[in-house]
């Protein structure tokens, strides 16, 4: 039987390079790997156009929409993007913010209130530092969805569960922070003013130490994105999920071996081998585990944050959201 042609859309990550290059084969599948640098483009094309068979997806989008049956995709426990987020909290140095609790009552901008990075940051601020998020004034750039003209007789639902103060274009969050029009900024991107304007700094200058301590205590390396399959395809050919899971694991292991090759430095990271020693001390030999079991605490924390922050009405059952893998993963 001929291999089934499938399109796989994901970022140009080292852990996916084996799939993209064809060095790692996927049982029963002839893949076309579509490498897209900007993840929201993948999400949008998958959700609005059903453009791919398999794709990288925002973790918060999947976890919040799938339980209600409003999302025609199923997930496998493969996580192409993970990022510690303590280093993505930025402050105006004149705003009187010296500790996380000082964020209470402040004006905080976000690149997207429902963005996975922002959900993680708010959850960490509450869990780790007791920040009362209800006291914060939230800002975004754009237009309030409730003020848009109706489409097909319907006004788009507000996409966030708290009041947002909307700032019109052409302002940028970086400029607002540097000018003191907001006191802090959270999200997946660093503001352009960081390192160029002394008014902009990280809340945690030693964020690597803080994040290392956070991981050692919680064993959470925050998951940002999940791999999903079109539900109709999975129903027709359920074996595809296992083939993909095995191949994604093999591709990741290939990337780890390549990263550890010491005959010549593969990446432009001058202290790569020292970093690898630290990775081994902190995570063990695999810093990027796939499977549900080793990531349960991670996913349950994110699910809880979505519930606590008002994105979902009920607690999320993680076990019901992932295709079961052989071996209990």
pLDDT > 90? residue 150: no
Confidence grade of residue 68 (pLDDT, cut at 50, 70, 90): confident
Cis peptide before 170 (omega within 30 of 0): yes
Residue 167 lies in a domain: yes
Please identify, among 164, 194, 218, the residue that sits at the C-terminal boundary of a domain: 218
pLDDT for 232 equals 96
Taking a C-beta distance cutoff of 8 angstroms, is the pair 98, 89 a contact? no
To which H or E segment does residue 173 belong?
helix 173-178
Beta strand segments in 161-320, E: 164-167, 184-186, 200-202, 223-230
pTM: 0.93
Taking a C-beta distance cutoff of 8 angstroms, is the pair 312, 71 a contact? no
254, 201: one domain: no
Residue with tokens 């079991």: 293
* Cα angle 201-205-211, degrees, rounded to a multiple of 5: 125
State how far the alpha carbon of 75 is from the alpha carbons of 18, 118, 124, 274, in Å: 21, 22, 25, 35
pLDDT > 90? residue 155: no
* Other Cβ atoms closer than 10 A to 132: 12
pLDDT for 327 equals 55
CA distance 98 to 102: 6
CA distance 327 to 329: 6
Residue 213 lies in a domain: yes
Helix, strand, coil share (%) of the chain residues, nearest 5: 40, 20, 40
Give the mean model confidence (pLDDT) for residues 59-82.
94
Chain CA centroid to CA 225, Å = 4
Beta bridge partners of 32: 7
Please identify, among 174, 198, 218, the residue that sits at the C-terminal boundary of a domain: 218
DSSP code for 154: B
Residue 114 lies in a domain: yes
* Cα angle 10-173-87, degrees, rounded to a multiple of 5: 65
Q: Count structural domains, the chain.
A: 2
Confidence grade of residue 143 (pLDDT, cut at 50, 70, 90): low
Beta bridge partners of 109: 139, 185
pLDDT for 92 equals 98
Residue 326 lies in a domain: no
Residue 102 lies in a domain: yes
Out of 140-144, 249-253, 270-274, pick the least confident: 140-144
92, 213: one domain: yes
Confidence grade of residue 192 (pLDDT, cut at 50, 70, 90): very high
pLDDT tens digits along 39-62: 999 999 999 999 999 999 999 999
- CATH of residue 9's domain is 3.40.190.10
75, 106: one domain: no
Which residue range(s) make up the domain with 154?
A: 86-218
103, 209: one domain: yes
CA distance 21 to 159: 38
């Amino acid at each position: 039987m001929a291999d089934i042609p499938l399109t796989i859309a994901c970022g140009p990550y080292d852990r996916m390079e084996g799939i993209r290059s064809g060095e790692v084969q996927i049982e029963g599948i002839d893949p076309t790997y579509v490498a897209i640098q900007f993840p929201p483009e993948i999400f949008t094309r998958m959700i609005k156009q059903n453009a791919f068979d398999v794709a990288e997806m925002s973790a918060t989008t999947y976890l919040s929409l799938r339980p209600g049956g409003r999302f025609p995709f199923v997930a496998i426990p493969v996580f192409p993007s993970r990022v510690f987020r303590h280093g993505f909290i930025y402050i105006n140095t004149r705003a009187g913010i010296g500790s996380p609790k000082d964020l209470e009552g402040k004006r905080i901008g976000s690149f997207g209130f429902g963005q996975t990075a922002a959900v993680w940051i708010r959850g960490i601020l509450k869990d780790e530092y007791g920040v009362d998020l209800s006291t914060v004034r939230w800002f975004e750039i754009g237009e309030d969805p409730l003020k848009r003209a109706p489409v097909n007789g319907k006004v788009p639902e507000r996409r966030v569960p708290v009041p947002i103060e909307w700032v019109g274009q052409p302002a940028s969050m970086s400029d607002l922070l540097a000018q003191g029009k907001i006191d802090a900024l959270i999200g997946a991107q660093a503001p352009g003013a960081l390192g160029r304007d002394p008014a902009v700094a990280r809340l945690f200058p030693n964020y690597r130490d803080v994040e290392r301590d956070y991981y050692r205590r919680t064993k959470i390396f925050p998951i940002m994105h999940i791999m999903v399959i079109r539900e109709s395809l999975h129903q027709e050919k359920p074996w595809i999920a296992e083939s993909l899971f095995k191949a994604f694991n093999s591709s990741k292991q290939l990337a780890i071996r390549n990263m550890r090759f010491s005959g010549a430095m593969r990446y432009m990271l001058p202290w790569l081998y020292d970093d690898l020693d630290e990775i081994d001390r902190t995570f063990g030999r695999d810093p990027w585990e796939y499977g549900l079991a080793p990531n349960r605490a991670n996913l349950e924390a994110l699910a809880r944050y979505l519930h606590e922050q008002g994105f979902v009405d009920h607690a999320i059952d993680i076990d019901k959201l992932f295709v079961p893998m052989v071996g209990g993963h």
